[in-house]
Amino acid sequence: MRESGSEPMERKIKNLKYVFEPKSIAVIGATKTPSKVGNVLLKNFIEGKFDGKIYPVNPKYDEIMGLKCYSDVLKIKGKVESAVIATPAKTVPSILEQCGKKGIKGVIVLSGGFAESGNTELEEKLKSTAKKYNIALIGPNCLGVINPYSRLDSIFFPVFKLQRPKPGSISFVTQSGAVGSCIVDLAAYYGVGISKFISYGNASVLDESDIIDYLSNDDSTESIIVYIEGTKDGKKFMETLEKVNKIKPIVVLKAGRSEKSSKAAFSHTGNIAGNYLAYSSAFKQTKVIEAKDVEELFDYVKIFNQPLPRGKKIGIITDGGGLGVLTTDAIEETGLDIADLGEETEKKLKKILPAYANVGNPLDIIADADPELYKKSIDIFMDDPGVDLIIVIVLFQAPALDERLLDVLVEASDDRRKPIAVVAVGGDYTHMNRKILDTYGVPTFGSPRDAIKAIKKFTTYSLTSRCRKCIFR
């Protein structure tokens, strides 16, 4: 809930810049003990080459990993803009008080043991202290924050166990640290670049709406992914979604859809998951994109890497007729359209295709098609004003295809004239090629139905949103 007059809360939201882009940070709870959270945190900051000063804080040590260690933040000489706290819950309120006196404006509290475990009184102390000093506080009971641009990494999982994504334009906002860690790992695996990653946990001071509001004005964020179990202020959440989604696309994954999972969500972060039908209705009303699981979430992320389509007329190029038919079925069932090819397009295709090939949409370029035939066909579809989006179906197992096709598909995606999606069904060899394409920003899908489901969300957003720029780069 916003504070009276909203000015103190607005100040906290603005102070999030000290959470994401601090010039100095105190790691409170830093330790020499391997495998401890404070040790992993400090190591991640040092080895990740954090772009600022690092101050370990722990009264047990004078030095950790070659850095001078301080007994508390008040002993640090000079300005400290941010702090990450990883100490037992009962110690956090007094530490936060010290942070306030030191003038620290951005704090991440990783520690658990607050409202999620029934200790609401301790969490209230955090809230009152943050209010007193206008501290932008993320947490408690959270995984941490990543900003690859400033090399900020307060996630307490080792890098060798959890990959970190490259810089990009997607910001992930997650209530769950566990789900958040999966999102981070998968983003790195798929080669999806991120602008920010924020695990906000109990949201005792700043909640999901405040973070989304901040990201709406963040220059490096072009799109926002949200994982949510429950919110304390449904009206505020809905108003924020409606406002921000008009500026930047939002994809939401809502957990706690059943009665039992809703109760589990409360014990997890101390937030009531609420009636799922109410959330679903809110998502539809605000026109945000809802994903049903993590896999679907990443399917949507990948397709939104492409330029927005002008319409919903789809052209299909395939070297396997059956997959072209299945894709056509999925398109018609979803309410999208099969593009009618223009006369000039058909003339051009007849010149490049074998005499026994039929010109149409889907365009079956026959199983012995080589990368050059794919390139010519894609170029012709790109020139056809009646085609809004191109689906390229590839049987990577075909003998005439090799790594040159990857170059063709990446080049077509980089062209940015029209969105392109690749459907490839198969085992290890196919998955290897799909991963390469995903890394280069070419969205791939393991079935026609998965591709069309994502494309439906993509075209709907494009045709209803005021946003008309390329997103998810």
Q: Tell me what the mean pLDDT of segment 166-170 comes to.
A: 92
Apex CA 123: angle with CA 117 and CA 129, to 5°? 165
Give the pair of three-digit tokens for residue 220: 């490096």
Could you give the number of structural domains in the chain? Answer: 2
Q: What is the CATH number of the domain that holds 170?
A: 3.40.50.720
Of the candidates 147, 206, 157, 201, the one whose C-alpha atom is nearest the C-alpha of residue 182 is 157
> What CA–CA distance (Å, rounded) separates 73 from 29?
11
- Burial class for 149, CB neighbours closer than 10 Å (0-12, 13-18, 19+): middle
> What CA–CA distance (Å, rounded) separates 7 from 318?
57
User: What does the pLDDT look like over 199-237, one tens digit per residue?
Assistant: 999 999 999 999 999 999 999 998 999 999 989 899 999
- The DSSP call for residue 423 is E
Question: Is 197 a residue whose pLDDT tops 70?
Answer: yes
Q: Is residue 300 part of a domain?
A: no
> Is the pLDDT higher at 340 or at 7?
340
Considering the domain architecture, whether residues 286 and 318 belong to the same structural domain is answered as no
Residue 273 is predicted with a pLDDT of 47
Mean pLDDT value across the chain:
91
User: What does the pLDDT look like over 273-313, one tens digit per residue?
Assistant: 457 888 988 999 999 999 999 889 989 988 988 999 999 99
Sign of CA dihedral 123, 124, 129, 132: positive
Residue 257 is predicted with a pLDDT of 63
Provide the domain limits for residue 369: 313-464
**Cα–Cα distances in angstroms (integers) from residue 143 to residues 179, 194, 345, 386, 410, in the given order:** 10, 16, 53, 47, 35
Residue 367 is predicted with a pLDDT of 84
Of the candidates 192, 196, 219, 189, the one whose C-alpha atom is nearest the C-alpha of residue 148 is 196
Q: Residue count of the chain, please give it.
A: 473
Q: What is the CATH number of the domain that holds 368?
A: 3.40.50.261
- The SS3 assignment for 199 reads strand
Q: How confident is the model at residue 357 (pLDDT cuts 50, 70, 90)?
A: confident
Given 292, 325, 343, the domain boundary residue is: 292
Residue 259 is predicted with a pLDDT of 55
Considering the domain architecture, whether residues 288 and 335 belong to the same structural domain is answered as no
| Residues of the chain above pLDDT 70, percent | 93
Q: How confident is the model at residue 149 (pLDDT cuts 50, 70, 90)?
A: very high
**Cα–Cα distances in angstroms (integers) from residue 440 to residues 254, 288, 463, in the given order:** 29, 26, 26
Residue 321 is predicted with a pLDDT of 85
User: What does the pLDDT look like over 90-148, one tens digit per residue?
Assistant: 999 999 999 999 999 999 999 999 999 999 999 999 999 999 999 999 999 999 999 99
> What CA–CA distance (Å, rounded) separates 309 from 340?
16
Considering the domain architecture, whether residues 108 and 174 belong to the same structural domain is answered as yes
Residue 41 is predicted with a pLDDT of 97
User: What does the pLDDT look like over 234-275, one tens digit per residue?
Assistant: 999 999 999 999 888 999 999 876 555 445 444 444 444 457
- Burial class for 5, CB neighbours closer than 10 Å (0-12, 13-18, 19+): exposed
Give the pair of three-digit tokens for residue 371: 């990368």
Kindly compute the dihedral angle of the four CA atoms of residues 400, 404, 408, 410, in this order, to the nearest 10 degrees. Answer: 130
Given 245, 261, 292, the domain boundary residue is: 292
Considering the domain architecture, whether residues 170 and 29 belong to the same structural domain is answered as yes
Residue 470 is predicted with a pLDDT of 43
Considering the domain architecture, whether residues 432 and 353 belong to the same structural domain is answered as yes
Question: Is 1 a residue whose pLDDT tops 50?
Answer: no
User: What does the pLDDT look like over 378-437, one tens digit per residue?
Assistant: 999 999 999 999 999 999 999 999 999 999 999 999 999 999 999 999 999 999 999 999
Residue 171 is predicted with a pLDDT of 96
Considering the domain architecture, whether residues 336 and 216 belong to the same structural domain is answered as no
Q: Is residue 64 part of a domain?
A: yes
Give the pair of three-digit tokens for residue 83: 């702090």
Q: Tell me what the mean pLDDT of segment 13-21 comes to.
A: 94
Q: Is residue 470 part of a domain?
A: no
> What CA–CA distance (Å, rounded) separates 442 from 9?
40
Given 292, 321, 336, the domain boundary residue is: 292
Considering the domain architecture, whether residues 211 and 332 belong to the same structural domain is answered as no
Sign of CA dihedral 196, 199, 202, 208: positive
In 452-466, which positions are buried (b, 16+ CB within 10 angstroms) versus exposed (e)? bbbbbbbbebbeebe
